[in-house]
Amino acid sequence: MNGTGAHVEAPPLTLEQFRKSLRGELVLDTDAEELYRLAKQIWNGDWEIDNRPKMIVHARGVADVRSTISYAQQHGMELAVRCGGHSLKGLSTNVGGIVLDLGKHMKSVRVDLAKKEVWFEGGCLVKDVDAETAPFGFATVLGAVGNAGTGGLVSGGGYGYFSRAYGLSVDNVLEMDVVLADGSFVRASENENPDLFWACRGGQSNFGIITSFRMRLFECPKEIFGGLVLYDMEDAVKVLTAFDAFASDPQCPREASTHVYSICLSPEQKLLAVQVCYLGDPKKGMQAYERLLSSAVPVDVQSKITTYQEYQVFSDEVYRIKGIPSYWRSRNVKAGTRLPVDDLVSIINSSPSEGILVIEHFGGRICEVDPSATAYRHRDSNYVFTFTGFGFQNANARKEVKNWMNNAVELLEEYLSGGSYLNYDNGPAQASFGDNLPRLRELKLKYDPMNFFRCNINILPAV
């Protein structure tokens, strides 16, 4: 207050004052080139992602998060939040703004065996949580890549190997700690701020920065059956037809999580891979998959009895390396649709060297949750088609990948629902959130009326 009784706001923090307020580290674009390069690095090296933040904050806790939000607002800087840096569309960086990195220090995990719950900070990778829960014979529903960050994964839906049995990650969150745009630190659950809890489960980072999660744990078998079985493209029709019969069967075990994708060894040599995972008795898993895997003679068999923890990092070698250019599109398939086998084979055969088609089997518990129960809307798809351009080296190759994807989506249009799995795609808000968008816009107006949190599939505040 001044002498007249009027409120006087404190002047904005200087850069040096901001640095001193942090327990974590601050890296600037004017620091040593290698230090800055490593600090800003994200997984996707697509050169159309402009990764030039003014500064990176490696937060050590909630106080650092609040300080960073305040500084960004005082200086009119855009804020991007990063956990694992695996945002396929580059949403964990920006140009000239601040990247708030939770992934370097905010990685604590606590397991409560009595309650069958796990609490973890928003900077944890999937494998960080698994490393604490799996030795006790438990796991929660997180992603299918151990190197992926939990923050972006869970807030965008969260599909993993347990999803057919237990739903998406958002279906198994019990509580979140969130820092809002005004600096408030609040808890979101069914009993505290339930509207925010609803919005953060699928609404991405539109409403605040999630600094921790509490989630249900499920018993995890010590041994599982999983791995890859590879087939020649000459047998693709047989294998895809068998996969469709397996996945469309109402009796398909919910312990079975199955992906099918193309592998390009060269433009002339392509393979079809069936990635199997049975989260139960390995012998029952072998029996469950027998008809599918014997639909043709494989060229290589890499499936085996293994542990869940080992299988969970199955894809990590690919996702470990940062800076590889990639481009993604994802589309959900209409409810009740059988696989258009001939079209899928044609798409794979026409793919460029860098093009990969992935078919993921969703269904099960995912589809039994009411679409309005969480902000994540798209619950009716048995399959998700994802198109990936991975490792292209020049503009022509990137253009070829995009053209292939566009042609593939056009060919499959009659089978697609219009929605997508949010963590794979960055479409418009209406397509991403569907009938949940009006409510999300009202909550955006309540919790972030100035649209400060906009490095996401952005939800505009209601007018």
Region 308-332: mean pLDDT is 82
Percent of the chain past pLDDT 70, that is, above it, reads 97
Instruction: Write out pLDDT tens, residues 371-393.
Output: 999 999 988 889 999 999 988 88
> The whole model's pTM is what?
0.93
How buried is 327 (Cβ within 10 angstroms: 0-12 exposed, 13-18 middle, 19+ buried)? buried
CATH dotted code for 109-220+434-447: 3.30.465.10
Q: Does domain 224-415 have CATH number 2.60.40.1220?
A: no
Whether the per-residue pLDDT at 169 is higher than 50: the answer is: yes
Cα-to-chain-centroid distance, residue 27: 26
Give residue 319's pLDDT.
66
- Tell me the β-bridge partners of 216: 117
Look at residues 203, 195, 293, 288 and name the one whose alpha carbon lies nearest to residue 243. Answer: 293
Q: How confident is the model at residue 2 (pLDDT cuts 50, 70, 90)?
A: very low
Whether the per-residue pLDDT at 157 is higher than 70: the answer is: yes
Region 72-78: mean pLDDT is 97
Count Cα neighbours of 57 within 13 Å in the Cβ-side half-sphere. Answer: 28
Instruction: Write out pLDDT tens, residues 233-277.
Output: 999 999 999 999 999 999 999 999 999 999 998 877 899 999 999
Least confident of 120-124, 144-148, 426-430, 440-444: 426-430
Instruction: Write out pLDDT tens, residues 174-198.
Output: 999 999 999 999 999 999 999 999 9
Mean residue pLDDT of the chain comes to: 93
For residues 357 and 74, what is the distance between their CA atoms, to the nearest angstrom? 45
For residues 364 and 382, what is the distance between their CA atoms, to the nearest angstrom? 8
Region 145-161: mean pLDDT is 92
Give residue 426's pLDDT.
67
Whether the per-residue pLDDT at 315 is higher than 80: the answer is: no
Q: DSSP string of 363-419?
A: -GGGGGS-TTSSS------SEEEEEEEES--SHHHHHHHHHHHHHHHHHTGGGB-S-
Angle between helices 341-349 and 236-248 (to 10 degrees): 130
Q: Topology of domain 15-101, per CATH?
A: 3.30.43
- State the DSSP code for 359: E
Backbone φ, ψ for residue 151 (5° rounding): -60, -55
Region 297-318: mean pLDDT is 87
Domain ranges of the chain: 15-101, 109-220+434-447, 224-415
Query: Which residue reads 């800003």 in tokens?
Result: 40
For residues 190 and 195, what is the distance between their CA atoms, to the nearest angstrom? 8
Q: How far apart are the first and last CA of the chain?
A: 34
Give residue 5's pLDDT.
46
Q: How confident is the model at residue 318 (pLDDT cuts 50, 70, 90)?
A: low
Give residue 454's pLDDT.
95
